[in-house]
Amino acid sequence: MKGTLNKSVVENFDLAFEERYAKVLTNDDDGIIICELLTDYVPIEDFKHTFEKISSLVKNGRFSKFIFDKRALRAFHQPSMEWYFLVWKKEMYSYGLKVHRKILPSEKWFEKMVMIAKLQIIENNSDNIIDKLDIKYCDSVEEAILS
């Protein structure tokens, strides 16, 4: 699948790794990691594997912003979102990753599913860290980098 990132926007980023389902770029100077999903669906095992590799980058660097480009997705997977939200974000928060920018697919149903699931996760998990994070939804990687 063709990548969605604008080359000039990410010229100051280095490719950390690329796999079947994701491409991950880093900018050490600005403390930013970009994860671009490359396929319309990512099996949970592969999703976790990718984010465990991102965890290593966070633990070994000085990253404060994570940009998650999900525009390629066409399937919504609740268990992956719960793990990402409740386990991964919480652990990464302890390493200083507090700013999260998300770029969702343009389909309105996808955005609605994300918001419903997020609300449910927050309501069912009182130990979530949502109030400690700076989370914004953006339309482009450039907007996410600048915000």
87-121: per-residue pLDDT in tens? 999 999 999 999 999 999 988 888 888 888 888 88
Nearest residue to 39 (alpha-carbon basis) of 82, 67, 78, 74:
74
What's the pLDDT tens digit per position in 5-37? 556 677 899 999 999 999 999 999 999 999 999
Q: What residue ranges in 10-147 does DSSP mark as E strands? A: 14-18, 22-27, 32-37, 65-69, 99-103, 134-138
Q: What is the DSSP letter of 63?
A: -
| Residue 145 predicted with pLDDT over 70 | yes
Q: How many CA atoms lie within 13 A of 48 on its CB side?
A: 9
Instruction: For the chain, count helices (H), then strands (E).
Output: 5, 6
The pTM (predicted TM-score) of the whole model is 0.89
Q: CATH assignment of 14-146?
A: 3.30.750.24
Break the chain into its structural domains and give their ranges.
14-146
